[in-house]
Amino acid sequence: MKNIMKLFKLIAITIILVLGMAIIGCKDGSTNGDDSTNGKKITLVCLGDSLTAGYGATASFEEDKSKSYPAYLEKKDNISVINAGVSGDTTTQALARVDSDVLPEYPEIIIILLGANDFFKNIPFSTTQDNFQQIIEKVDDGNRKIYLAKFYTDAMASLISILGLSGTFSQYNDMFNTLVTSSSNIELIEDIWTGVWGVREHMSDPIHPNAKGYEIMADNIYKVVQPYLQTLKE
């Protein structure tokens, strides 16, 4: 009888230990239902200018990062989105911020939306292209996904004409196409403006969206980024 009681105690202790290990495993090692990689939340950094900072989102001549495209992008997926947008930034200024605003976040994904201020300030195209290349070289670690987003759409050519600017987007098209081929980790976001540009109620001024416009912009960007996000979660 005593041997039987000892056997039951041994079985009970074994069951408790097994259940305890299972619970610990669920807490520490499982990623079921968690959109993450190896238990770590995916981090995405958006490097840009006023179009990233949310300029004009809720009031003219003001930025509101809570209504910016990165903020809306974060709501679409269980990821951490860092808004590294500074209104007025050229590619030169953004390049100077990469070491402080981007790399310390250790992002799996980076979206770069720059070039508009270079264009409107007539900065030499060669300078802009060189800055883009240096930014890419800094952030491309061989594993990180980099998205280059065009700041313009062909429909903006009419605005350029009205403003009396002599520049065209043809050089930028060539530049982006060249940059994309420089690394297998780079992908181009061709159009952030579908449903935004030309729709008066979605713009705060001729260049910047309002909150609704930024939300639609986030939709456009997410369509391109989502397939890669899914691969990180698999």
* pLDDT at residue 3 tops 90: no
Enter the tokens of residue 76: 């679409």
Mean pLDDT calculated for residue range 173-199:
95
Mean pLDDT calculated for residue range 176-189:
96
The Cα–Cα gap between 64 and 56 comes to 7
Q: Describe the strand order of the beta sheet including 186-189 as a list of residue ranges.
A: 80-85, 43-48, 109-113, 145-149, 186-189
pLDDT at 154: 81
Contact 120, 156 (CB under 8 A): no
Buried (b) or exposed (e) across 69-95, using 16+ Cβ within 10 A? bbbbbbebbebbbbbbbbbebbbbebb
Q: Are strands 40-41 and 43-48 parallel, antiparallel or unpaired?
A: unpaired
The Cα–Cα gap between 165 and 186 comes to 30
Q: Residue 18 CB: number of other CB atoms within 10 A?
A: 10
pLDDT at 6: 44
Q: 3-class DSSP state for residue 175? A: helix
Mean pLDDT calculated for residue range 88-105:
98
* pLDDT at residue 59 tops 50: yes
Residue keyed to tokens 């990689």: 37
- Chain-wide mean pLDDT for the chain? 85
Question: Which tens digits make up the pLDDT trace of 27-47?
Answer: 333 333 444 555 678 999 999
Mean pLDDT calculated for residue range 154-180:
80
pLDDT at 156: 84
Question: Which tens digits make up the pLDDT trace of 61-80?
Answer: 999 999 999 999 999 998 99
Among 2-16, 29-43, 145-159, 193-207, the minimum mean pLDDT is found in 2-16
Enter the tokens of residue 219: 């939709």
